[in-house]
């Protein structure tokens, strides 16, 4: 029987993603397990995965060495990075990991560095003719800047530190308050996430737009899939320009009928369960690709108008749960059963 072990980094609260890969292995009739890494033994993902390992922080020396050792020790055939901080690292070390038999579902270092920087993202896409929110550094604001605008960290995620400035006074305050800020024009229109999946050569295989109807703490709370030609084309153009490998999500708003990009994250989005439920099963497609199986392009092949509404769920753990986190040796934090 075919076998494949998958490693998902920074498990944290990514329970639906872990479960989606576990299901993908079963449905692909593959013998294997889904392992995760984390720095905290109380993270929910640690207690859902088949195995879990403690590693240093992504910005600590030896992080990639620890990942490589886990991949070798656990015979990992596919690694899926999940947080912005580590994406450039995985982009830089893809060839090293692949040389040992591990495929990496992560875009190149250059793509990761562009997407992690909101200023670079918008200027790079604009240079390729893709409509973007005008984005300025505080030192280069136009004299006649139209208000309101958004002030946000140049590098950040989840809407943390992003503020609307409606007056000059607010603009001056938030530029001083937000660390390393950029200023973006205010886009007045419905917001969408476009989930994109690229194969290991950067060829887009699936594009699924989702309307973010209700957003809570930077994450979709209620939303629906939308099969809209302009959004599909925008997702394709971004994918062809930045050559995504693995999952990515394009954030945009539709202004006067035209979608305009304001941010891109070259990783799985928080709303990916809706895309999977709509028939675009990114984890299953990545499993097939990692096994060397042929996967056809399926742009626009998903159920449109499918709604989701989100809610919180807890995992009750034993009294010794916090002690499961051990220094990486490698030693499993927890093993199923």
Centroid of chain to Cα 29: 26
Which CATH number goes with the domain that contains 149?
3.30.1490.20
For residues 149 and 207, state if they share a domain: no
CA dihedral angle for residue 168, residue 169, residue 170, residue 175, rounded to 10 degrees: 80
Whether residues 159 and 44 fall in one domain: no
Establish if 20 belongs to a structural domain: yes
Per the structure block, which two tokens stand in for 49?
């995965």
Same domain, 171 and 204: no
Residue 125 lies in a domain: no
Residue 60 lies in a domain: yes
pTM check: above 0.85: yes
pLDDT at 160: 77
């790079």: which residue's tokens? 124
Instruction: Judge contact between 98 and 76, C-beta under 8 A.
Output: no
Do the domain assignments include residue 120?
no
Counting the structural domains of the chain, the total is 2
- 75 in the same domain as 159: no
53 and 78 both lie in a single domain:
yes
Cα(81)–Cα(11) distance, rounded to whole angstroms?
Answer: 9
Q: Are 265 and 115 in contact (CB under 8 A)?
A: yes
Residues 164, 85 within the same domain: no
Among 166, 185, 204, identify where a domain stops: 185
- Structure tokens belonging to residue 35: 């392992």
Question: For the chain, which residues score pLDDT lower than 50?
Answer: 327, 336-337
Does the residue 103 lie in any domain? yes
Which helix H or strand E contains 111, and what residues bound it? Answer: helix 109-116
Residue pair 209/180 in contact (Cβ under 8 Å)? The answer is no
Identify whether residues 180 and 322 lie together within a single domain: no
Judgement on whether residues 169 and 101 belong to the same structural domain of the protein: no
The DSSP call for residue 3 is B
Residue 163 belongs to what domain range? 134-185
pLDDT given for residue 247 in this prediction:
98
Same-domain pairing of 211 and 289: yes
Is there a domain that residue 283 lies in? Answer: yes
* Separation between Cα atoms, residue 268 and residue 246, nearest integer Å: 8
Q: Cβ–Cβ contacts within 10 Å for residue 54, how many?
A: 21
Radius of gyration of the chain (CA): 20
β-strands 149-153, 181-185: how paired?
antiparallel
Let me know the angle formed at the C-alpha of 41 by 37 and 38, rounded to the nearest 5 degrees: 20
pLDDT of 328 reads 56
Question: Which residue is it, tokens 């305050």?
Answer: 173
* 20 shares a domain with 106: yes
Residue 82 domain-assigned? Answer: yes
128 domain residue, yes or no? no
Q: Are residues 260 and 168 in the same domain?
A: no
pLDDT score for 337: 42
Are residue 223 and residue 320 in the same domain, yes or no? Answer: yes
CATH assignment at residue 301: 3.30.470.20
């Amino acid at each position: 029987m075919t076998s494949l072990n998958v490693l998902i980094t920074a498990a944290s609260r990514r329970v639906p993603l872990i479960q989606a890969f576990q299901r993908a292995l079963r449905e692909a009739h593959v013998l294997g397990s889904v392992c995760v890494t984390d720095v905290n033994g109380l993270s929910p993902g640690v207690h859902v995965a088949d195995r879990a390992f403690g590693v240093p922080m992504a910005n600590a020396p030896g992080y990639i060495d620890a990942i490589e050792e886990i991949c070798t020790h656990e015979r990992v055939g596919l690694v899926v990075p999940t947080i912005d901080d580590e994406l450039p690292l995985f982009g830089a070390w893809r060839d090293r990991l692949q040389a040992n038999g591990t495929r990496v579902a992560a875009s190149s270092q250059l793509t990761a560095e562009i997407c992690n920087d909101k200023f670079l993202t918008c200027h790079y896409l604009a240079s390729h003719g893709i409509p973007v929110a005008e984005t300025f550094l505080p030192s280069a604001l136009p004299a006649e800047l139209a208000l309101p605008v958004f002030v946000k960290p140049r590098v950040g995620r989840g809407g943390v530190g992003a503020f609307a400035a409606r007056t000059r006074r607010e603009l001056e305050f938030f530029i001083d308050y937000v660390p390393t800020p950029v200023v973006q024009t205010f886009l007045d229109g419905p917001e969408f996430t476009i989930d994109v999946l690229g194969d290991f050569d950067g060829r887009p295989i699936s594009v699924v737009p989702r309307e973010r109807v209700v957003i809570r703490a930077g994450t979709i709370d209620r939303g629906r899939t939308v099969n809209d030609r302009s959004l599909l084309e925008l997702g394709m153009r971004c994918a062809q320009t930045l050559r995504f490998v693995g999952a990515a999500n394009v954030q945009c708003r539709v202004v006067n009928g035209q979608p305009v990009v304001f941010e891109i994250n070259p990783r799985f989005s928080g709303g990916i369960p809706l895309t999977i439920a709509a028939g675009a099963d990114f984890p299953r497609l990545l499993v097939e690709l990692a096994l060397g199986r042929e996967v056809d392009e399926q742009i626009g092949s998903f159920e449109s108008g499918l709604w989701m509404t989100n809610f919180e769920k807890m995992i009750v753990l034993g009294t010794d749960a916090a002690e499961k986190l051990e220094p990486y040796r490698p030693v499993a934090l927890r093993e199923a059963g």
